[in-house]
Amino acid sequence: MAWRGVGGTHARAQLIDHVVRISKEAYAGTTHENDFIIYHDALSQWWERGAQEYMKSLGFEHRQLRCVGNTNAGTRYHWGLVGDSPEICRALDSHGFADLAACMRLNCALSTGYPVGDPRRFNMGTPSEVWRCMARCWSIAPTSARVMEDIEALPDVLDKIIEADGCVVKDLFLRTGRRARRLDNTEGKRNARPSQRKATIGKGTAPRHPDCDAAHAALKSKWLEPPPPPPPPPLQR
């Protein structure tokens, strides 16, 4: 699809407009209001020529983290980024999306106690129901605490990747693409052990949506009810 001009309605232009607008709001009134740098991972739609021309029209062509100079010259990654993996894309890929999925499953399970058609129900039976479930759960998962925890772990992750010369890091998420090759050029394992996955998967209790409070209370009351007394023994004649 052809890119539309500045202020156009192309979906990718809307993505860039959103990132630039939110970044400007975040840095407004700070010492880096006019020179902050935007980071986006190696999403192909972001780094394609049309997208980068649009970034240039906004004055942000060189205000984004990217390979510069002769880095990766002669490859598709020149003036762009190489791919990353979940431990690099903090706050979402590392465990934010896993938290969201866990939240969706929890609230779908809890809301089964509501009658069919109840607007408080969470369903994933059709694409539209999945979208509505996801949008509602997105308001509570991942939590702010989980986002902060994930982002604050980035320096340690970068140190480990640098120590491994950019190759596989055994105690982080194991890759299945080009970076899955070890320093000795052998393939890395595809399936991480639980101890290797613990930094990239959801942990703790998934948040409960307020619409499921009544269902949770009803379910909890059933758990707390004493069991019914046993039936009386049959009469002996």
Q: Is residue 77 part of a domain?
A: yes
**Are residue 113 and residue 43 in the same domain, yes or no?**
no
Work out the angle between the directed axes of helices 11-27 and 49-57 (0-180°, nearest 10): 40
Per-residue pLDDT at 189:
47
Q: Is residue 226 part of a domain?
A: no
CA distance 119 to 128: 14
Q: Is residue 62 part of a domain?
A: yes
Tokens coding 41:
């991972």
| SS3 state of residue 64 | strand
**Are residue 51 and residue 130 in the same domain, yes or no?**
no
**Are residue 119 and residue 130 in the same domain, yes or no?**
yes
- Predicted confidence pLDDT, tens digits, the chain (237 residues): 344 444 444 778 899 999 999 999 999 999 999 999 998 888 888 988 889 999 999 999 999 988 888 988 898 888 888 766 656 767 776 678 889 999 999 999 999 999 999 999 999 999 999 999 999 999 999 999 888 888 888 888 888 878 877 766 766 554 444 444 444 545 544 444 443 344 444 445 789 999 999 999 998 887 766 777 888 888 776
Per-residue pLDDT at 87:
65
**Are residue 78 and residue 120 in the same domain, yes or no?**
no
Q: Is residue 234 part of a domain?
A: no
**Are residue 69 and residue 99 in the same domain, yes or no?**
no
Q: State the pTM of this model.
A: 0.60
**Are residue 30 and residue 101 in the same domain, yes or no?**
no
Q: Is residue 224 part of a domain?
A: no
Contacts of 8 (CB under 8 A, 6+ apart): none
**Are residue 64 and residue 114 in the same domain, yes or no?**
no
From 52, 83, 114, give the residue that closes a domain: 83
Q: Is residue 180 part of a domain?
A: yes
Per-residue pLDDT at 17:
94
**Are residue 104 and residue 192 in the same domain, yes or no?**
yes
**Are residue 183 and residue 72 in the same domain, yes or no?**
no
Q: Is residue 216 part of a domain?
A: no
CA distances from 155 to 90, 123, 149, 207 (A): 11, 38, 12, 27
Per-residue pLDDT at 127:
94
Per-residue pLDDT at 43:
84
**Are residue 91 and residue 54 in the same domain, yes or no?**
no
**Are residue 166 and residue 183 in the same domain, yes or no?**
yes
- Tell the residue number behind the tokens 């407009």, with chain if given: 17
Residue span of the structural domain in which 136 resides: 86-210
From 60, 83, 106, give the residue that closes a domain: 83
Per-residue pLDDT at 84:
62
**Are residue 91 and residue 139 in the same domain, yes or no?**
yes
Per-residue pLDDT at 178:
40
Per-residue pLDDT at 224:
67
Domain count, the chain: 2
Q: Is residue 222 part of a domain?
A: no
